[in-house]
A and B are shown apart, each in its own frame.
Chain A
Amino acid sequence: MRKKLGLIVNPIAGMGGSVGLKGTDGEEILRKARQLGAAPTAHTRAVEALRELSALKGSIELFTYPHDMGEEEAKECSFNPVVIGSIQRGKTSAADTKNAAREMLTRGVDLLLFAGGDGTARDIYEAVGDRLPVIGVPAGVKIHSGVFAINPRTAGQLAVSYLRGEVATSEAEVMDIDEEAFRQNRISARLYGYLKIPHDEQLVQNVKVGSVPGEHESMQAIAWEVIDNMQDDYLYIIGPGTTTKAIMKELQLSYTLLGVDVIQQKQPVALDANEARLLELIEGKKAKIIVSVIGGQGYIFGRGNQQISPRVIRKVGKDNIIIVATESKIAALKGMPLLVDTGDREVDEMLKGYSKMVTGYGRSAVYRVA
């Protein structure tokens, strides 16, 4: 059977960037961007990615949305796409992206290629969750999510590998920052969820090293290490993310993927706790914080886990922070340090220096935090 590829272009993605508007979410900003003479970049980037797929032209079926949401890009690359849905050209919005993603899911596409930024990734996540593997072609202003390829060509190549059945999937973060706050130079990032992406295991995998564990096994090994060393008199504050929540999975506890959960003696104490609840829980108690590296840029605090606030961190103490990360996550940092941005300069300073990370069962690494 022919593989089905979905294509969604967010035609306005990236327009805010060139004119210094730090994003293009919302009608008002879009108008402002156009007034300032912003030009769309999503079109060329989508075309660049799609060209990489030309070798598959005869063997895949391409589904896309009308006009500048994919149809034009597909035709420019000589594809003969199945065009679904309807939009008003030049007046597309988040709702169109969501509708398109939903329809692609109903049509049973094998992979969804989309061009946009964090906002687009969020829309797609809200529409289809993890029911459909996606690849983001980076075309937006904000690219904090882990669902984007490093450039359009790589996105296209990864799509080819996936459609040929050469790579498996894994989860990647959908992150977005509050644009309004960003415009005022405050970064307030949130972790919205996880999309399924084709995972290029090459970063860590090597065929000749037969025993190299995959991402799933690595997380499991980290979980076992943490669990084996748990002490009954400590509360464990477990931050968001797939690596940290592997601990909850191994303990067969329910958890919130994006929230901060608290356990003691391997039993649940609180789910999705906010700062106030955390402070209340640790009052007069010994506690440890378990966090992972969020968002591919190396943040361990201040991105997606703001509930673990400077006050919480101070109370728990630096020595009681357990950082967990798979070797592939560390390799993806390319030697760049781990980052902290708690919003409290003193706490940030306290966290800087060298920290030990749990990387596997009985395995750890000493790594710089800056």
Chain B
Amino acid sequence: MSEAGLRRYHANVWEEPIIMQMGSEGERGIAIPHAEKEIQKTVGSAQSYIPARMKRRRDAALPQVSQPHVLRHYLRLSQQTLGMALNIDIGMGTCTMKYSPQVNEELLRLPQFADLHPFQDEDTVQGILQIMYEFSRFMCEISGMDEFTFQPGGGAHGIYTNACMIKKYHDVNGELKQRDEIISTIFSHPADAACPATADFKVVSLYPDPETGLPDVEALKAAVSKRTAGLMITNPEDTGIFNPMIDEFVNIIHEAGGLCAYDQANSNALFGIARARESGFDMCHFNIHKAFSSPHGCMGPACGSVGTKKEIADYLPVPIVTFDGSRYHLDYDRKHSIGKVRCFFGNIETILRAYAWVMGMGPDDLRQVSETSIINTNYLIKKMSSVQGVTMAYPKQARRLDQVRFSLEKLKEDTGVTTDDVARRMIDFGVQEYFTSHHPWIVPEPFLPEPCDTYSREDIDYWVEVIRHVCQEAYKNPEIVKSAPHNHAITKINRQDLDDPDRYAMTWRAYVRKSKGKGRK
């Protein structure tokens, strides 16, 4: 421990190359044996089975690396990250970095689950259908909605599903041509704007009142028109502030003929406290990989579960799992269904974990999850209030719920140290870089902690002490913060490259092309 009581962390530094730079021509992980002569003669070559139009003209540029080198490569990479299970992950506001009970992983490995195949007849999968059905009943109770689907593979996918249902609804009513606008707020998750835009809507954003941080109801009244298709909104918004006028927002949209979709990705502070139904929403979505303890999986298997009132339930993706009192069914008979948004039934492993989690909790403990989350946030706010350079956005506003947006504008003005600098320096004390906030930065130099129910008082204290220590460093020796991280697997990188379309590359091919100077332009 250092003098400030903080851990002296140091990551493994492997200077690991990208896998495309490893190995050599002809190197193989597995030498696949040739088929026997007789078989070759009878069935011909494997290639002859591929239709000519589907054949690649050139071989795929796959890495050619031996097995031990591959194993070493990925283990080294894993040692260069600060994952959820290694550190106090309070900094990732809006992500609800909750502990995923390890015992639930055992359930996923049971052959009764692991060996299921999505093509099986429903008679042979009654068990998993029962779990899905019962979990949908839990979700209905939690939200007040009437039916659920678990097909969308993530949060934004769930929001997109809602946008598609809004679109289909107006199409069925013959008003789609006229109703081409979705209203959202700038502090809602950006997917509440991006998803309807992907579904071909125009998006109108409302800005917050500079005093309260809440979206302005008068601005909403000015925004609605005969073009309004619906409202897609987060509450509490990405500031942790709950909009107490939400019922009125919903009413205004309903009166204008639109539908209202509630983005409940950040639902961790609302279990047993507030529901979509009582606010009047027509539909909502929850991220099962957030408040319901299933892991995020790094953009991997997640679930944006979508619920609707029965009036909209005909628009849900098919199939929906139903129960007739003795058997469970896959119901494809939905008159206005938007169709499938993903193959098969969704990432059911997230549902199995969440089912186990909810069963383990029960209603009273679920409410306690939210109460703990709110208490943790407000405890963190209290601790943070004595840190020099940190201010809370919208200080006059009421209590924060699941998260809180702070600003380091004062620190930047005093010392030149930015929120990105502080985020990088935190790594040197074994805490992963925090999430500043979504764009645009309405709150300057932001950071957005979410100390959900997972974290103990000691965890929160440590996290705040790291911020305090780094801010003190900023006043004494700003260079050490600006040039951080010093103890991590990689050092500070030039962020301009990340923002420059001529430089950044999402694929190896793009990297090769751009680094040879054949960029856009």
Binding site for B on A (CB under 8 A): 52, 55, 150-151, 153-154, 156-157, 160, 165-168, 201-210, 212, 214, 217, 327-328, 330-331, 334-336, 353-356, 359, 362-368
Contacts and interface: CB of A to CB of B under 8 A. Distances in A.
Given A55-B479, A365-B207, A353 B222 contact: yes
Chain B interface category by residue count? 35 or more
A94 B516 CA distance: 47
Contact of A335 (B205, B210, B416): B210
Given A167-B496, A214-B499, A367 B219 contact: yes
Interface in B432-464: 435-442, 444-445
A322 to B, nearest CB: 14
5 contacts: A153-B416, A206-B436, A327-B440, A331-B440, A335-B207
Contacts of A166: 494-496
A205 B439 contact: yes
A165 B493 CA distance: 12
A360 B307 CA distance: 31
Interface stretch (B196-204, B341-349, B358-366): B196-204
Nearest to B204: A364
B209 interface: yes
B437 A206 contact: yes
A203 B210 contact: no
Contact of B435 (A201, A208, A359, A365): A208
Contacts of B209: 335
A29 B418 CA distance: 41
Interface string B202-220: 1111111110000010111
A206 B418 contact: no
B444 A203 contact: yes
B262 to A, nearest CB: 20
Main secondary structure of the interface of A (DSSP, over half): mixed
B272 interface: no
Nearest to B506: A210
A288 to B, nearest CB: 18
B206 to A, nearest CB: 6
B496 A363 contact: no
A300 B444 CA distance: 23
Interface string B266-282: 00000000000000000
B499 A201 contact: yes
A153 B478 CA distance: 13
Contacts of B499: 201, 205, 207, 212, 214
Interface string B353-375: 00000000000000000000000
Given A203-B441, A206-B437, A335-B209, A363 B495 contact: no
B219 A204 contact: no
Contacts of A327: 439-440
Given A167-B496, A202-B418, A354-B218, A362 B441 contact: no
B176 interface: no
Contact of B197 (A153, A330, A363, A367): A363
A206 B197 contact: no
B496 A165 contact: yes
A38 B39 CA distance: 100
B227 to A, nearest CB: 11
A201 B501 CA distance: 15
B206 A365 contact: yes
A362 B496 contact: no
Contact of B440 (A330, A355, A364): A330
A213 to B, nearest CB: 9
A364 B182 CA distance: 10
A327 B207 CA distance: 11
Contacts of B437: 206
Given A353-B222, A366-B223, A153 B413 contact: yes
Contacts of B216: 368
Contacts of A217: 501
B426 interface: no
B190 interface: yes
A273 B197 CA distance: 37
B441 A204 contact: yes
Given A206-B438, A327-B440, 7 more contacts: A55-B479, A202-B445, A204-B439, A205-B499, A207-B495, A362-B197, A363-B197
B436 A208 contact: yes
A52 B482 CA distance: 13
Contacts of B418: 202
Contact of B413 (A55, A151, A206): A151
Nearest to A154: B413
A48 to B, nearest CB: 12
Nearest to B193: A363
A362 B416 contact: no
A167 B497 CA distance: 10
Contacts of B473: none
Nearest to B203: A363
A168 B501 CA distance: 13
Nearest to A151: B413
A208 B190 CA distance: 13
B512 interface: no
Given A327-B440, A331-B441, A335-B210, A356 B496 contact: no
Given A203-B440, A206-B441, A328-B440, A362 B202 contact: yes
Closest 5 CB pairs of A and B: A335-B210, A354-B222, A157-B416, A204-B440, A366-B223
A335 to B, nearest CB: 3
Contacts of A334: 210, 444
A155 to B, nearest CB: 11
Interface in B170-198: 186, 190, 193, 197
A212 B209 CA distance: 24
A365 B220 CA distance: 10
Nearest to B495: A207
Contacts of B210: 334-336
A353 B496 CA distance: 39
Contacts of A366: 204-207, 219-220, 222-223
B314 interface: no
B498 interface: yes
Contacts of B204: 356, 364-366
Contacts of A362: 197, 201-203
Interface centre among A154, A334, A335 (most CB of B within 10 A): A335
B134 interface: no
A364 B205 contact: yes
Given A363-B202, A363-B203, A165 B494 contact: yes
Contacts of B496: 165-168
Given A165-B496, A362-B202, A330 B439 contact: no
B97 to A, nearest CB: 14
B503 to A, nearest CB: 12
Contacts of A207: 420, 495, 498-499
Contacts of A151: 413
A366 B494 CA distance: 36
A269 to B, nearest CB: 28
Nearest to A214: B499
A364 B203 contact: yes
A209 B439 contact: yes
B197 A331 contact: no
Interface centre among A151, A356, A362 (most CB of B within 10 A): A362
Nearest to A200: B418
